[in-house]
Amino acid sequence: MSERIVVRLGRDGRVEAHTEGVRGPGCLSAIALLEELLESVAVESRYTRDYYAGAEVDVPAEQVLHEGETP
């Protein structure tokens, strides 16, 4: 899959965007570029599986589960 940013514009002017095919923290750079182009700031964000796939990333301690633990 190629890398891309998918943008959805709401009737109320709200902009929703997510990346596809961008693995690791590279997605953060893509969203930062979109923020710059739109002269805006993200108000909510979530990491997808692609963020954690195939790249070394720092996960905050509260997100690390040890064997046998449940969220």
Residue 12 is predicted with a pLDDT of: 92
**pLDDT value at 19 more than 50:** yes
Question: In degrees rounded to 5, what are phi and psi of residue 58?
Answer: -85, 125
The pTM of the full predicted model, rounded to 2 decimals, is 0.61
Integer Cα distance of 65 and 70 in angstroms: 7
What are the tens digits of pLDDT across the range 38-58? 888 888 888 888 888 765 656
Taking the domains of the chain in order of start, what are their residue ranges? 4-63
